[in-house]
Amino acid sequence: MAYQPTLESLAAHPVPAWYDDAKFGIFVHWSVSSIPAFAPPNKKGIGEVDLGNAESVAWMFKNTPYAEWYWNSISIDGSPAQRHHRETYGAEYAYDNFVPQFMQLARGCDLDAWADLFARAGARYVVFVTKHHDGFLLWPSAHPNPNRRGWYAERDFVGELTRAVRARGMRMGLYYSGGIDWTFHGLPIDSMASFLSSIPQSVEYARYADAHWRELIERYEPAVLWNDIGYPEKAEPARLFADYYNRMPDGVVNNRFQLGAGEGGQHCDFVTPEYAVLDRILEKKWESTRGIGGSFGFNRAEPDGYLLTAEEIVHMIADVTSKNGNLLLNVGPTANGLVPWSQASRLLAVGDWLRRNGEAIYGTRPWRKADGRTADGAGVRFTQRGGYVYAIVLATPASREVVLDELQLEGAAEIRLLGYGQPLRWQQRGTQVVVELPGDIPTGPAYALRFSQQRG
């Protein structure tokens, strides 16, 4: 069908199976901010901030753990980043000075190594930041920044990573900061009022953002349009969506065009809660997005203890999948393009788990309940696919017997442990299913049981 730039027509676009099946993607934040690479470590996520409380919001902007917000942070008087900047570089040292340093260091970046790592991590798609809030472009655009000369990479990082990712069987999505561009307007953002007014609304910027998105679509045919923090009203996002779907019918659009957007701004294929955990199955397709640590961009001030462990990432993938979501987990490379070992080692461990247990994740859909528990208190997450139900136990078994509460199976049901060749012995005890695990008890952050002919 041919899509039209109306909400009714756009709403007919289905979420493609590839995106619903993927479950795990890698986000990449890499830009000029990776030169200073600083934000005050802070585990208080944005989801914990009372956005209706002015003092809480002011604290959030002043103390943001997001290193990619460095330019804004050093513009707020008294912020930790401003103190760090003055002590390290001097009060008069402009953010612009980091640009040539980044361009010099980025020349040696090995994008094939990134793609290898992401594939080994078990990711099914990648979303790359082409322009963050500082406005620097990671591709040689035909539409250069009118306010900053040379504010783009001469090397086509977007194109090179796109080819590398696709060569390894993954889908490629692109992020673009459509709502904030500090080279046009908005510094500093230190309150909800300044945040809401930070989107440039000039005709010039609307044409600039629209031209970039259309150029990215034409050159790279992204599987995901991942916009951030709204969009200028005059840029006609509904027309952009219709043209995109007509070119890429199996593409998807996120929900972050809508802040400050006009016609078509409420359309999306999926929603993107940030650093959020849901307590229920969400009917609308969603994507949980977060960094491995408290920042998206590389933050050298963040200690290893602020990063998720591989175990926590595996548990998060299982939890998000059971509730109809995908996990888009961010990595923040250094300015010279290295993914820090503290991040890479975690991704490799996750990939090892997914190679043995991915049947319970990829291509699944939520069961009639997401959560359960074992008799000894371990969490369980349920998924289903092709007539099977999977129970992912978020623990290493303490013994050869696992007891699943509030579950009933048919007498002829078969239970298998993923990665183990033989059916397992089991019995029903009231509302509990008691499963005898093999002698070689599985180790690792979680294990998955597969049930056939289940009743409830």
* pLDDT of res. 421: 85
Q: What is the length of the chain?
A: 456
pLDDT at 394: 98
Measured CA distances, 143 to 107, 156, 163, 208 (Å) = 22, 14, 22, 7
**Residue at token pair 């000369």:** 149
Rounded CA-CA distance 206/257 in Å is 13
Look at residue 42 in the predicted model and tell me its pLDDT: 84
Q: Report the DSSP pairing between strands 325-331 and 24-28.
A: parallel
C-alpha distances out from residue 104 to 30, 37, 331, 337, Å: 14, 16, 21, 11
In contact, 128 and 175? CB cutoff 8 Å: yes
pLDDT for position 455: 58
Residue-level pLDDT at 78: 98
pLDDT for residue 443: 87
Residue 19's contacts (CB-CB under 8 Å, 6 or more residues apart) are: 125, 171, 223, 224, 252, 269, 270, 285, 326
Alpha-carbon gap, residue 308 to 222, rounded angstroms? 29
First to last CA, the chain: 40
Q: What was the pLDDT predicted at 356?
A: 96
Return the bridge partners of 382, or none.
391
Cα 70 → chain centroid: 20
Q: Which domains does the chain have, with CATH numbers?
A: 7-360 (3.20.20.80), 365-452 (2.60.40.1180)
What is the H or E stretch that residue 162 is in?
A: helix 157-167
pLDDT tens digits, the chain, 456 residues: what are they? 799 999 999 999 999 999 999 999 999 999 999 999 999 998 765 656 777 899 999 999 999 999 999 999 999 999 999 999 999 999 999 999 999 999 999 999 999 999 999 999 999 999 999 999 999 999 999 999 999 999 999 999 999 999 999 999 999 999 999 999 999 998 999 999 999 999 999 999 999 999 999 999 999 999 999 999 999 989 999 999 999 999 999 999 999 998 644 444 589 999 999 998 899 999 999 999 999 999 999 999 999 999 999 999 999 999 999 999 999 999 999 999 999 999 999 999 999 999 999 999 999 999 999 999 999 999 999 999 999 999 999 999 989 999 999 999 988 899 999 999 899 999 999 999 999 999 888 889 999 999 996 655
